[in-house]
Copies of this chain bind each other. A is one copy, B any other.
Amino acid sequence: MNPRPVSPRPLRIALLGCGSVGTQVARLLDRDAEELARRVGAPLELVGIAVRDLGADRGLDLDPALFTTDALALVTRGDLDVVIELIGGVDRPRELVLAALEAGASVVTGNKALLAADGATIFEAAAKAERDVAYEAAVAGAIPIIGPLRESLAGDRVRRVLGIVNGTTNYILDQMTTLGQSFEEALAEAQRLGYAEADPTADVEGYDAAAKAAILASLAFHTRVTIEDVHCEGITGVRPADIVSARQMGCVVKLLAICEQYDTDSGPAVGVRVHPAMIRDSHPLASVRGAFNAVFVEAEAAGELMFYGAGAGGVQTASAVLGDLVSVARNRARDDVGPGETSHAQVELLPVGRATTRYHLAIDVEDRAGVLAVIAAEFARFGVSIQNLRQEGHGSDATLVIVTHEASDEALSATVDVLEGLEVVRAISSVMRVEGGF
């Protein structure tokens, strides 16, 4: 328990990208140099920062000679211990990360797009080079979720992961819920406050959450899932009527990243999907407000766990990057390497049509005798069992609010298609999945 001796050899660190996260990482590396050296067991020396624009003012008090626009030359200089990749995108960072590993450096990255698109290539290269790749910052900012899934739950069986992993969409849905705003109004407000980008597509269409879902599912189920495998629906179709319907059922609407293990006739299978869903008010995820993130894990032995915190922001993500840096630098100081990724399970991926969940439907109908029987018959025809039915209003305003038992996506879709063609149905005003138990 004595202070661990600090090795005379400093570990050489390079930073790729110096935006909001990179700037914070550089600042903290400098400010906390002494403390980090103690935790690692060796001093950390920032030897280069690759940027696009040498002239930008980042408010950092660093030697200008550290900055370069030639990232590839930096990562291949041959004497680096750790490369921190904070560029974003897929092709260019892949090239740089692979070059860094081949040149003998471990890698810390916050790049969810790269890992969700082609993590296998990165992890294979790391195994071959006997170096670490750490990526806590890629999912849910500073919230430790990669570490717990990799390490703490390594002796358990994860059954389901439900994540609120995109702060922009959670903020928008929260505004729609608490203020009754439309999607468009809430989005405009989020853009005004800087919670949503000028082009919000990646967030509101669910692509950002889908990349994180692929990473979480790969870890949780020890298998390989890419973003191509994730069924993805965003929140652009969520209407005030859905929010109101959810409220009447004691639920809130959240954009969820859902990773589930199923037992099928041919063995275990994994389904990964991102879509808006209703969850009951008493579920721990329901109280995740504003731009916060949370990941809810159901494991066989551990039961229900939840990890909660700020999902994004430069300084929060920098905390995750530095945590990873300490881990991989400790390994480099001892010429060691962590356990690496395991994808031994190679579980079958279930298409979304076969995923089962509960559904909420609000159906505007003609209020006359026999309507309910006609509609119930269609549900029965496709094997979708009704758990709960409530009729609201009367006359021309009658609405049937239905919650089903667990049904497959394809059975539900087929039912909805037929219902829409029925004469007695005026409109289906809301169809939404219900998750997290009801």
Expressed in whole angstroms, the Cα–Cα distance for A371 and B341 within the complex equals 69
| Residues on the B chain within 8 Å of A141, using CB | 302
A318 touches B301 (CB 8 A): yes
| Residues on the B chain within 8 Å of A300, using CB | 319
Known pairs A148-B147, A287-B287, A327-B154; A304 contacts B310 (CB<8 A): yes
A325 touches B284 (CB 8 A): no
Known pairs A307-B307, A308-B308, A322-B156; A342 contacts B38 (CB<8 A): yes
**A247-272: which have CB < 8 Å to B?**
none
Known pairs A144-B153, A287-B287; A320 contacts B302 (CB<8 A): yes
* CB nearest to A330 among chain B residues: B339
**A36-51: which have CB < 8 Å to B?**
36, 38-39, 41
Q: List 26 A-B contacts (CB under 8 A).
A: A1-B124, A1-B340, A1-B341, A1-B342, A4-B340, A4-B342, A28-B155, A35-B157, A36-B155, A38-B344, A142-B305, A143-B305, A144-B147, A144-B305, A151-B323, A151-B326, A152-B320, A153-B323, A154-B326, A155-B324, A301-B316, A301-B322, A302-B310, A304-B309, A306-B307, A308-B308
Mask: chain A, 6-22; 1 = CB below 8 Å from B; 0 = not: 00000000000000000
* CB nearest to A119 among chain B residues: B1
Interface centre among A157, A323, A336, A340, by most B CB within 10 Å? A323
**Which residues of A are in contact with B by a Cβ distance under 8 Å?**
1-4, 24, 28, 32, 35-36, 38-39, 41, 120, 123-124, 127, 136, 141-144, 147-148, 151-157, 222, 224, 284, 287, 299-310, 313, 315-316, 318-327, 330, 336, 339-344
Expressed in whole angstroms, the Cα–Cα distance for A123 and B1 within the complex equals 7
* CB nearest to A322 among chain B residues: B155
Expressed in whole angstroms, the Cα–Cα distance for A315 and B157 within the complex equals 12
| Residues on the B chain within 8 Å of A308, using CB | 284, 305-308
Expressed in whole angstroms, the Cα–Cα distance for A3 and B124 within the complex equals 11
Expressed in whole angstroms, the Cα–Cα distance for A324 and B321 within the complex equals 23
Known pairs A309-B305, A336-B336; A155 contacts B4 (CB<8 A): no
Expressed in whole angstroms, the Cα–Cα distance for A3 and B346 within the complex equals 9
| Residues on the B chain within 8 Å of A330, using CB | 339
Known pairs A1-B120, A330-B339; A306 contacts B309 (CB<8 A): yes
Expressed in whole angstroms, the Cα–Cα distance for A316 and B298 within the complex equals 11
| Residues on the B chain within 8 Å of A156, using CB | 142, 319, 322-323
B299 touches A142 (CB 8 A): yes
Shortest C-beta distance, A266 to chain B (Å), equals 19
| Residues on the B chain within 8 Å of A32, using CB | 155, 157
Interface centre among A2, A41, A318, A319, by most B CB within 10 Å? A319
* CB nearest to A289 among chain B residues: B282
B28 touches A301 (CB 8 A): yes
| Residues on the B chain within 8 Å of A307, using CB | 305-308
Expressed in whole angstroms, the Cα–Cα distance for A142 and B297 within the complex equals 12
Contact of A153 among B127, B319, B341 (CB under 8 A): B319
* CB nearest to A224 among chain B residues: B1
Known pairs A1-B224, A39-B342; A303 contacts B142 (CB<8 A): yes
A302 touches B142 (CB 8 A): yes
Contact of A155 among B41, B321, B341 (CB under 8 A): B321
Known pairs A39-B154, A330-B339; A319 contacts B302 (CB<8 A): yes
Known pairs A142-B302, A309-B306, A316-B301; A343 contacts B148 (CB<8 A): no
Expressed in whole angstroms, the Cα–Cα distance for A299 and B32 within the complex equals 14
Shortest C-beta distance, A287 to chain B (Å), equals 6
B299 touches A303 (CB 8 A): no
Contact of A310 among B2, B287, B303 (CB under 8 A): B303
Shortest C-beta distance, A334 to chain B (Å), equals 8
Expressed in whole angstroms, the Cα–Cα distance for A329 and B307 within the complex equals 26
Given pairs A301-B315, A330-B339, 10 additional interface contacts (CB within 8 A): A35-B157, A142-B299, A142-B303, A151-B151, A151-B327, A154-B327, A300-B319, A301-B318, A302-B309, A303-B315
